[in-house]
Structure 1
Amino acid sequence: MSKRAKLGLTAIILSLGLVGIQLIDLEGRYQAIGLLAGLAYGLSAWALFEDLKKIEWLTVLILPTLYPVATALFYFLLPSRLLSQIVILLVFGIGMYALLLTENIFSVAAIRTIQLLRAAHAVGFLITLAVAFFLWGTLFSFRLAPWWNALGVLITSFPLNLQAIWSVNLEEKISESVWVNSLVLSWILGGLGLMISFWPVTVTVASLFLVTGLYVGLGLIQNQLAGKLFRKTTEEYLRVGGLVLIITFFLSHWQ
């Protein structure tokens, strides 16, 4: 079986798994999502096996594992209308296939130069933001105490940061700068999660606020590691962050 066929089959099986989870009683859905995570890792590893080397068994497979999990969790928050479910299923399947192609490019590019690397970075960045939005939307929907929200954001953001920052230079080992940048950004996002927990905002607004923080943080770090962090680039990212902060403030239901 060709690699593209394996990637397509993996996307189809995980899409069917996503549908199957919706048919399970609410009490058993979280256990089923845990099984889906294991299935996603195993199938993704099988599909990408030929080019996976050393640390890539971790870095390359983080997003293909978290994407189905985040989508399944976020699925609970959506209306139970058939049309909505079909749309989400189609978007997930296409996104999963695109993500696997992206991770395949990363694993190949770590060995030799490949022209599609820039496009892969863009797709990986976009899906990282989507996964973060799904995870944090689910987290804030539980209406937990602020400190638990902060801890949840910190923990869930770390693997997302790690794989995104590592993908810039695709090193054989995770360098100290990747570890440090990932941890620092996770702490910052955790702090933002704590702050926004005290603001009277909706779950969607809180999630978008945090995703913007991730967008700004990852954008600055990735450009810095790539040697492209110029003054204009920095100002553009900070301008986006400042604008979203202002919008979030005015969307808050202050009394």
Structure 2
Amino acid sequence: MSKRTRFVITSVILSLGFVGIQFLNDQNRFWAIGILGALTFTLFLWSLFETLKANMTLLTLVLPVMFTLGVGFFWFLLPTNIFAKVPIVIFYGMGIYILCLTANIYSVASVRTIALLRAARGVGFVITLLASFLIFDAILSIRTEIYYLIPAVFVFSLLLYIQGFWSMLLTKEYSKDLVYLSAGAALVTTELAAILYFWPVTIVVGSLLLTTSFYMLLGLGQAKLEGRYFKSTIREHLVVGVLIFIAMFISTHWGA
């Protein structure tokens, strides 16, 4: 069976999984999304088994799982009518297929040079930001206590950062520098989430700010790893961060 066929099968099965979740009650849906995340890992492992080994190339599987969980958690926040659900299922299915192609390029590029790598990195960067926004939005929507919020943000951020930074290296061997860089970036994002816990912002604005910090840290980290850590790159990311912060500050309701 060709890889393309496996990619299509993976996309269809996971999309049907989301359709099936619709028929479950709220409590079972939560567990079903976790199962769907595990199924995503399994199907991607099956789709890419020729090029994946028991080494750092397994990080290729992180983003598809995070994307599934992000869309799944966001699913809870949608209206129950079919007009809201169907577009999300279509969007998710297309996203999974694109991730199959992206993950395939990553896994092949870890073995040999491939021309489409830069395009795949761009796609991976965008989907990473999208997944981070959906996950942060879901976490903030729960309005849980801060001692649950902080570990949740840190774990999800760490996983997203480490796969994002690894996509610039595509090494097979364990790298302490990669882990330290990812942990440091995740810590900054977590600290910002802790500040937002006490800041009177809406869930969407808070999620957007966390995603912006993710954009800045991931973008700057990738630039450093790629050897293009220029002043213009730093200025570009900082300007975006400052503008978003100003917008958030203005939109904050400071009433008693």
TM-score by length of 2: 0.97
Letter in 2 for 1:42: T
Gaps of 5+ in 2: none
For residues 74 and 174 of structure 2, the distance between their equivalents in structure 1, rounded to whole angstroms, comes to 30
What does residue 145 of structure 1 align with?
Answer: 145
Task: Give the Cα–Cα distance (whole angstroms) in 2 for the partners of residues 111 and 53 of structure 1.
Answer: 11
Question: Per the alignment, in what secondary structure is the counterpart of residue 113 of structure 1?
Answer: coil
Query: Contact conserved, 1:45 with 1:57, CA < 8 A, in 2?
Result: no
Q: Which residue of 2 aligns with 1:24?
A: 24
Q: Helix, strand or coil: the match of 1:163?
A: helix
Which residue identity is paired with 2:244? V
Equivalents in 1 of 2:204, 2:131: separation in Å? 14
Q: What is the distance in 2 between the residues matched to 1:57 and 1:120?
A: 15
Matched to 1:171, the amino acid is T
Distance change >3 Å, CA 121–CA 57, structure 1 → 2: closer
Query: Which residue of 2 is the match for residue 212 of structure 1?
Result: 212
Find out whether 1:159 has 2:143 as its counterpart: no
Whether the 8 Å CA contact 1:150–1:192 is kept in 2: the answer is no
**1:216-227 maps to which residues of 2 (within 5 A)?**
216-227=216-227
In the other structure, the counterpart of 1:232 is 232
Q: Report SS of the residue matched to 2:50.
A: helix
The Cα offsets for residues 143-184 of structure 1, whole Å up to 9 and x where unpaired, read as: 122343222211110110111101101011131111000000
Q: Does 1:69 align with 2:69?
A: yes
Correspondence list, 1:41-52, <5 A: 41-52=41-52
Alignment-derived partner of residue 133 in structure 1: 133
2:6 alignment partner AA: K
Q: Is the 8 Å Cα contact of residues 18 and 68 (structure 1) preserved in structure 2?
A: no
1:28 is displaced (CA, Å) by 1.1
Please report how far the alpha carbon of residue 57 of structure 1 lies from its aligned counterpart in structure 2 after TM superposition: 5.3
Q: Compare 214-223 and 19-28 and name the one that shifted more.
A: 19-28
Alignment partner of 1:169 is 2:204:
no
SS at match of 2:172: coil
Residue 56 of structure 1: how far off its partner (Å): 4.2
In structure 1, stretches of 5+ residues that fail to align are none
State the Cα deviation string for residues 196-226 of structure 1 (Å, max 9, x = none): 1111111111111000000000000000010
Is the CA contact (8 Å cut-off) linking 1:71 and 1:131 kept in structure 2? yes
CA distance in 2, matches of 1:98, 1:109: 16
In 2, Cα distance between equivalents of 1:243 and 1:195: 18
Shift of 1:134: 1.0
Percent identity reads: 40
Q: Tell me the matched-pair count.
A: 255
Deviation string for 1:40-68 (max 9, x for gaps)?
11111000111112324530111112211
Q: Secondary structure at the match of 1:50?
A: coil
Tell me which stretches of 4 or more aligned residues in structure 1 moved more than 3 Å.
Answer: none
Match of 1:40 in 2: 40
Contact 1:165 1:222 in 2 (8 A): yes
